[in-house]
A and B are shown apart, each in its own frame.
Chain A
Amino acid sequence: MSVLARDKTSTFPPAAASRTRPGAGFFSMKKTTSLTLALLAVIAAVAGSGILGVLRAAPLREQCVAWSACGMLVILAIVILLIGRTTTLRSLGIIEQQLRELTRNDDLNPPGAPMPQDLRPVMCALFEYVNHVRASMDELRLQKKELDVQMRVAEAERQNTEAIIFSISDAVLVLNSFGELVLANTAAEELFGFHAKQWRHRPIDRILNDASLACLIKDARTIGEHSVRRHLEYSTLRDGRTQTFNITLSTVVDNHGQSRGVVAVFHDITRERESTQVKSDFVSAVSHELRTPLSSIKAYVEMLVDGEAHDENTRRHFYQIIESETDRLQRLINNILNISKIESGVVEVNHQMIHANQVVRDVVATIMPQASGKNLQIESDLDESLPTIWADRDMLHQAVLNVLSNAIKYTPAGGRIQVSTAAAEDHRHIVITVRDNGMGIRAQDLPRIFDKFYRSADGAAIAKGTGLGLNLVKHIVETVHKGRIAVASEPGAGTSMVLRFPRVAI
């Protein structure tokens, strides 16, 4: 606009034309009229003076001649005036016609076209002006096209950027320099529970429930004159679960060092943290389980070496403890190795057609002394028509042994344990069920009883264990044999453990 205004004022063609040709165009007509009027005034003055002079001394005949001459001059002036007016009107008509032509066709006749001589300068100036305006308009049109293209490119880039931001699984918030929300992707909407469209251009501290977090993000706008990136950790409680985020706050700064806003990216590291915690807990649990029996062995050996056992009975007692703790350590190591082998897929599985009833009978016979010692009754209800299954005998034995061993551990003296086998209704599986009327398992412990090293507080208070037995059972049933294990329990009433094996390999 400023360019246009400057052009209008500095190169206004009619003014330029008038300066270069002062006697041309309208000015020539105006001059003609002025000259005519001057001529009339001279004539009138001459005539007046002449009349007065003549009237004083001239005879009547000369006076008549003088009056006639004056009359002729007046008539001549009137004729000149009429001719000048006609010429002016015709010129104006031509100009009007040209302007209408310009309006209709956006074009003028070129200066060389047939035209009255005295109009040529005017039309030249007008032509130059129109050409100038046309050139300016062409330039503006070009600039507009370029701006349109730039705008479309910018819009496409903006849409691309938004699409990228929306495709990010991390939550992203973009704030302007006033701390107002400019953009929030879907992950951010889900994380903070708001609709970005409704909250656009609202202060961030009114959107986020956590005032300290809103403050942190807002403060990031004024960190400095250069783009700054900060990382910090943020934890929040959602649905009773702690979620941890790694937040990256990036200050957006323009070319003049002014803060234009901030971009906050929330990367969820909850799983990594939980995974790290699980690994740490696992290492800690393995350490505890290995060190405890080792501690007994080392201590009792040292006592024997130091002669702290004063009689044969004490020494024998110490030897027995060392032996039992060594067995405990061996069992633990075997369990850990078996689980690790199954988990890593390097376990050797010896599949064969076997009778599950026979395996169950063997296990019951093995464990019966332990049950009898605790005054527990074991009842077997085995389906004699049970089909054979394609399974690893030793692993099946281990799984049933672990489940029965747990039933004995957590059933008070005088209790009852039932072991049953049956063909599943789908005729493709067999089911081994171990049911006891023991202490049961609390609902909150049920989802975790198959976790490595997990022991419920109730269970740990009643009996010793490593927390590996049921994990191994689950691996044997589900990982090795592609079966299913299920548990149902009621605290104080007992537990039912169901092992479901496929008849043939899956």
Chain B
Amino acid sequence: MSARTILIADDETHILNVLTIKLQNAGYRVITAQDGEEAHRLACEHLPELIITDYQMPLLSGLELCSRLRSSPATKDIPAILLTARGFSMSQHEKTQDNIREVVTKPFSPREILALADRLIAQEPAATTIPG
């Protein structure tokens, strides 16, 4: 895996930019994608340490992206943070897919995302509580 590389996938440019700035300021290398297909391609290519993905994206949803990453040996262990503005439309099963370590409901705090990223990359045990 590439050291301290985080992939952010969101079709909302402003969200993508603010998270990029926050994580880059914290010393992470950030790569970005604006749809699910592009995110999958970049994940396979760069093997980031963490993926932060929106739930609702063109071409491939965040859930489908995580599911596809789980099916590949090279990417199945990459932890993911799922951002959603439709928190209550997700089933408990969807929320507990093993590579989705956290589900964060929008509006979120960039500080909170950075803290989660630090913890997951440091391989701390994932919290069982689901924000939002």
Contact = CB atoms under 8 A, between A and B. Distances in A.
A299 B89 contact: no
A460 B106 CA distance: 20
B112 to A, nearest CB: 9
Interface in B69-95: 85-89
Contacts of B110: 299, 302-303, 306, 308
Interface string B7-51: 000001011001101100100000000010000000000000000
A460 B22 contact: no
A325 to B, nearest CB: 7
Given A296-B14, A296-B18, A308 B25 contact: yes
Interface stretch (A54-62, A132-140, A287-295): A287-295
B58 interface: yes
B56 interface: yes
B111 interface: yes
9 contacts: A280-B89, A287-B87, A290-B85, A294-B106, A295-B85, A296-B15, A298-B109, A299-B107, A303-B18
A457 interface: yes
A287 B106 CA distance: 9
B58 A288 contact: no
Contacts of A321: 14
Given A299-B14, A308-B22, 9 more contacts: A287-B87, A288-B86, A292-B12, A295-B106, A299-B15, A303-B110, A308-B25, A325-B14, A461-B59
Interface size class of B (residues with CB under 8 A): 20 to 34
A291 B106 contact: yes
A169 interface: no
B58 A297 contact: no
Contact of A461 (B18, B58, B105): B58
A295 B89 contact: no
Contacts of A294: 106-107
Contact of B107 (A284, A291, A306, A461): A291
Interface of A: 280, 284, 287-292, 294-300, 302-303, 306, 308, 321, 325, 457, 460-461
Contacts of A289: 85
Interface of B: 12, 14-15, 18-19, 21-22, 25, 35, 56, 58-59, 85-89, 105-111
B108 to A, nearest CB: 6
Contact of B111 (A284, A288, A291, A306): A306
A58 to B, nearest CB: 142
B12 A299 contact: no
Nearest to B56: A288
Contacts of B108: 295, 298-299
B58 A287 contact: no
Contacts of A460: 58
A326 to B, nearest CB: 12
Contacts of A295: 12, 15, 85, 106-108
Contacts of A300: 14, 18
A321 B110 CA distance: 16
A308 B59 CA distance: 32
B106 A292 contact: yes
A-B pairs, top 8 by smallest CB distance, nearest first, are: A291-B85, A295-B107, A295-B106, A288-B85, A298-B107, A296-B14, A291-B106, A299-B18
Give the interface centre of A280, A294, A300 by most chain B CB atoms within 10 Å: A300
A121 to B, nearest CB: 100
A371 B19 CA distance: 32
Nearest to A294: B107
Nearest to B14: A296
B109 A296 contact: no
Nearest to A292: B85
A303 B110 CA distance: 8
B18 A297 contact: no
Given A299-B15, A303-B110, A284 B86 contact: yes
Contacts of B111: 302, 306
Nearest to A300: B18
B106 A302 contact: no
